[in-house]
Structure 1
Amino acid sequence: MKVVVVSDTHMPRMAKKLPERLVEALKTADVILHAGDWTDASVAEMLGKYAPVHGICGNNDGPELVRLFGLRRIVKLDGIRIGIVHGHGQGKREDTETRAFRSFEPGEVDVIVFGHSHIPLHKHRDGVLLFNPGSPTDRRRSTHYAFGIFTIHEGSLTAQHVKYLHK
């Protein structure tokens, strides 16, 4: 199973359309995860043309999107429990990873997908994979635009980032 992981699309302000590099990956996706800051419901519609979308809202999403997606969720894919949260809240932006990690109880999930910082991250913490896909449209302090791909096979998940310089 191929899962495309995105966050912080900030559309249409940061891009009028999905970047081509992302579209190429979406064409073969089985599932799409979005970790918030869509900023417009049209992004969900764009992504939904490729595969089922599971997502949550971030600090830049309005009440309509919050009603559609909520702020936190757990998705189970081929036996893997994936928690999705944006990671925003009190404290500095550097605390995003810790806020995301603390959004789920110990043992509740195998993977936590989050966004907010726009900086790609792939690391393990107390047996949980923490994965921030970065942003495909707004790299901010990151060196590249980015999104993620999870490959799930027989209850095992591998994760990678796809990084690029031009939208």
Structure 2
Amino acid sequence: MAMVKSQHTSVIYVTLLFAILLMLVPIPDSMRYARPEWVALTLIYWAMALPQRVSIGVAWFTGLLMDVITGGVLGIHAFAYALVIYLVGRLHLQLRQYPLWQQAITILSLIFLVHFITMFNTPISLSWTHWMTVLTSTLVWPLVYAVLRKIRRGFQVS
């Protein structure tokens, strides 16, 4: 029985690894600001669906891994992800009840928070293109939600 439970937990980590890989895929410079925040979206989904499995510790470790991989200041992503997952953990019961469009608005504010915190790692730009990540992350939320929900149900992750 313990073997089955560990396989189900590994699905969460595989999806997080896939999200990290999506963040590392090279894209043209003209599109770099439009890249959704895949890791944060994946963490938010799992923290909303299974807060007992994906908590601040998982978010912190994932953020440290992102900091190391991207070569940024150590702890920036870790702090941003941990803060957002703390907020999701506190509000997960309400977030689950929202329709998808209301969840997307909440995602907008959460990704804005992640982007605001992590922008201290890059030169500050007041251009609207710098904030495209927030918009694209909000727009892909329904897709991320549907795919991860199907994975969670398919693998019976609980």
The answer to whether the superposition gives a TM-score over 0.5 is no
Higher-Rg member (1/2): 2
Structure number with greater CO (CA < 8 Å, separation at least 6) is 2
Comparing both structures, which one devotes a greater share of its residues to strand? 1
So what's the TM-score if we normalise by structure 1? 0.30
So what's the TM-score if we normalise by structure 2? 0.31
